[in-house]
């Protein structure tokens, strides 16, 4: 180590020593501990805080699915500096601090860790990625617009693929990690480390007034239950439904902070265009003669349907005929039908599908349709190879006037006699 480095370390260590001595003194003397005044007068409740010469401040309790990071401390400085200033100003300052453990992220991470240990052993031996595999990601970039990849969600994202690796990145050992298959262990382990970090930070907190959420703390749990009962009794709560991200596995909404990943992802709204199959039905659709059959195409631009000339289906795509009500059937991908089932748009119970037929995309080619808004009396289903079955409904509208891709695909089909012959297109 160089002489310069020695001097820098000496100064740093001296500052750390000063901080440690004073923090120890604060803890021994209970400097930040504040009790209710013994001469409290209930009649003086209406008196303002300024007149009482007191100051109380709180900080949103951090979620305990890991160690505190610099973002927590950066945000905490606002409350911390305010508490320090008010103390210097002579006020009776109360700064409580607690830790949040309620929600799905801890539970989901514990289940994921349990699955990795079950599947790959303990400590796990994960499969190695193929070094020759090349992943190509095409992203549309606006060269005139700079967008930094920062923020709360980006900061939380880890490069680790497995939960075990995420735990290792926190500095946990192979002996410690298996204990975290118990979600309650998270609530016992991380708060104590967070408290130690905050003490080293010098937070002016009355640690007697600290707790964790969840039913591990019966006092907090009963308070929250009491609070909601009071709100319900007072008529302040209403039960209703709204579109949200839904967890099929847990059978409940999966809100932003309940997800182990995907924070910031919201609901994508789009319109499903119902294109009526013209009778008489032929081929596989003949079995649906008693229903009104529609092809459902997803679009974010329904105003362009005036220019629709045809619609597309993926030749090898797996589609289904799903009953919407007593008279109507829609043809789309299973993923899209399931999405509609969870919005109670289908004939089955909530989240359940009534599937009347399995249909390949090639079974739909040449089927005549009546589409809304277009001046054409009949449009037809044609093949398109670039459709993604996990996007939209798997059925795609074609508006060449507004979409160059649609125009080019139509031109290619007209030029290729081999393709038309392969799919029976005249």
Q: How confident is the model at residue 4 (pLDDT cuts 50, 70, 90)?
A: low
Write out pLDDT tens, residues 300-315: 999 999 999 999 999 9
In a domain? residue 93: yes
Structural domain ending residue among the three candidates 214, 237, 260: 237
In a domain? residue 259: no
Whether residue 61 contacts residue 100, with contact meaning beta carbons closer than 8 Å, is answered with yes
pLDDT at 260: 65
Question: Does position 295 have pLDDT exceeding 50, yes or no?
Answer: yes
Residues 233 and 284 in one domain: no
Beta-bridge mates of residue 298? 272
Which residue, chain included where needed, has tokens 């927590």?
72
pLDDT at 139: 46
The three-state secondary structure class of 154 is: helix
In a domain? residue 245: no
The C-alpha R_g of the chain, in whole angstroms, comes to: 31
User: Higher model confidence: residue 150 or residue 376?
Assistant: 376
Of 294, 264, 263, nearest to 278 by C-alpha is 294
In a domain? residue 5: no
pLDDT at 145: 46
Q: Per the structure, how many domains does the chain have?
A: 2
Say how far apart CA 361 and CA 315 lie, in whole Å.
4
Q: Which helix (H) or strand (E) holds 339?
A: helix 334-341
Residues 186 and 62 in one domain: yes
pLDDT at 136: 43
Write out pLDDT tens, residues 274-287: 999 999 999 999 99
pLDDT at 137: 44
Residues 216 and 78 in one domain: yes
In a domain? residue 9: no
Which range is least confidently modeled, 63-72, 233-242, 258-267? 258-267
DSSP secondary structure string for all residues of 58-124: --PPPB-SS---HHHHHHHHHHHHHHHHHHHTT-EEE----BB--SHHHHHHHHHHHHHHHHHTTTT
Q: Average pLDDT for residues 346-365, to the nearest whole number?
A: 93
Residue 420 DSSP symbol: H
Say how far apart CA 348 and CA 321 lie, in whole Å.
13
Domain extent at residue 181: 19-34+47-128+147-237
Say how far apart CA 371 and CA 123 lie, in whole Å.
58
Of 323, 325, 352, nearest to 338 by C-alpha is 352
Q: Which helix (H) or strand (E) holds 52?
A: helix 49-52
Question: Does position 215 have pLDDT exceeding 60, yes or no?
Answer: yes
Residues 71 and 216 in one domain: yes
Residues 350 and 406 in one domain: yes
Write out pLDDT tens, residues 378-405: 999 999 999 999 999 999 999 998 889 8
Residues 360 and 307 in one domain: yes
pLDDT at 387: 93
Structural domain ending residue among the three candidates 211, 237, 263: 237
Of 62, 85, 56, 87, nearest to 74 by C-alpha is 62
pLDDT at 27: 87
Residues 170 and 26 in one domain: yes
Residues 184 and 301 in one domain: no
Beta-bridge mates of residue 56? 94
Q: Any long-range contacts for 83-87 (C-beta under 8 Å, 24+ apart)? A: 83/55, 83/57, 83/204, 84/204, 86/55, 86/57, 87/204
CATH classification at residue 229: 3.40.50.620
In a domain? residue 264: no
Question: Does position 52 have pLDDT exceeding 60, yes or no?
Answer: yes
Residues 6+ apart with CB under 8 A from 110: 180, 181, 182, 183, 186
Residues 283 and 416 in one domain: yes
Residues 223 and 289 in one domain: no
Q: What's the distance, CA 212 to chain centroid? A: 24
Helix, strand, coil percent content, the chain, rounded in steps of 5 = 40, 15, 45
Residues 285 and 337 in one domain: yes
CATH classification at residue 295: 3.90.740.10
DSSP H helical ranges for 162-255? 163-169, 183-201, 218-233
pLDDT at 5: 62
Q: What is the pTM of this model?
A: 0.64
pLDDT at 3: 63
Residues 193 and 307 in one domain: no
Distance set, CA 71 to CA 67, 105, 243, 295 (Å): 11, 19, 31, 49
Q: Among 137-146, 252-261, 273-282, which range has the highest average pLDDT?
A: 273-282
Q: What's the distance, CA 251 to chain centroid? A: 15
Bridge-based pairing state of the strands 310-313 and 379-383: parallel
Say how far apart CA 56 and CA 134 lie, in whole Å.
56
Q: How confident is the model at residue 64 (pLDDT cuts 50, 70, 90)?
A: very high
In a domain? residue 208: yes
pLDDT at 46: 60
pLDDT at 161: 80
Write out pLDDT tens, residues 310-338: 999 999 999 999 999 999 999 999 999 99
The packing angle between helices 70-88 and 183-201, to 10°, is 50
Q: Average pLDDT for residues 362-390, to the nearest whole number?
A: 93
Structural domain ending residue among the three candidates 189, 214, 237: 237
In a domain? residue 260: no
pLDDT at 243: 82
Say how far apart CA 96 and CA 311 lie, in whole Å.
62
Mean pLDDT of the chain: 87
Say how far apart CA 396 and CA 376 lie, in whole Å.
17
């Amino acid at each position: 180590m160089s002489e310069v480095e020695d001097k820098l370390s000496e100064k740093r260590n001296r500052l750390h020593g000063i901080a440690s001595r004073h923090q120890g003194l604060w803890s021994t003397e209970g400097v930040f501990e504040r009790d209710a005044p013994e001469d409290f007068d209930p009649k003086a409740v209406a008196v303002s805080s300024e007149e009482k010469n007191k100051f109380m401040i709180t900080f949103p309790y951090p979620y305990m699915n890991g160690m505190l990071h610099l973002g927590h401390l950066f945000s905490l400085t606002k409350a911390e500096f305010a508490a320090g200033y008010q103390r210097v100003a002579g006020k009776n300052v109360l700064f409580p601090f607690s830790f949040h453990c309620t929600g799905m992220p801890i539970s989901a991470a514990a289940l994921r860790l349990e699955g990795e240990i079950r599947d790959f052993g303990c400590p796990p031996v994960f499969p190695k990625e193929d070094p020759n595999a090349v992943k190509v990601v095409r992203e549309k970039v606006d060269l005139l617009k700079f967008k930094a990849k920062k923020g709360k969600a980006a900061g939380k994202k880890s490069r680790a693929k497995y939960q075990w690796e995420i735990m290792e990145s926190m500095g946990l050992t192979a002996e410690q990690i298996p204990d975290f298959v118990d979600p309650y262990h998270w609530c016992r382990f991380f708060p104590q480390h967070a408290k130690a970090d905050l003490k080293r930070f010098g937070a002016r907190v009355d640690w007697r007034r600290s707790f964790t959420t969840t039913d591990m703390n019966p006092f907090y749990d009963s308070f929250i239950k009491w609070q909601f009962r009071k709100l319900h009794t007072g008529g302040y709560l209403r039960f209703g439904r709204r579109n949200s991200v839904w967890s099929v596995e847990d059978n409940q909404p999966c809100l932003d902070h309940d997800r182990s990943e995907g924070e910031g992802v919201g609901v994508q709204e789009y319109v499903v265009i119902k294109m009526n199959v013209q009778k008489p039905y032929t081929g596989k659709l003949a079995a649906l003669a008693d229903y009104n059959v529609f092809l459902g195409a997803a679009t974010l631009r329904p105003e362009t349907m005036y220019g629709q000339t045809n619609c597309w289906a993926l030749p090898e795509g797996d589609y289904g005929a799903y009953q919407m009500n007593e008279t109507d059937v829609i043809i789309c991908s299973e993923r899209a039908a399931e999405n509609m089932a969870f919005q109670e748009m289908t004939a089955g119970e909530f989240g359940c599908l009534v599937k009347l037929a399995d249909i390949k995309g090639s079974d739909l080619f040449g089927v005549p349709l009546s589409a809304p808004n277009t001046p054409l009396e009949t449009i037809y289903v044609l093949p398109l190879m670039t459709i993604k079955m996990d996007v939209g409904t798997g059925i795609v509208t074609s508006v060449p006037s507004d979409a160059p891709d649609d125009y080019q695909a139509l031109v290619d089909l007209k030029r290729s006699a081999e393709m038309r012959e392969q799919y029976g297109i005249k």
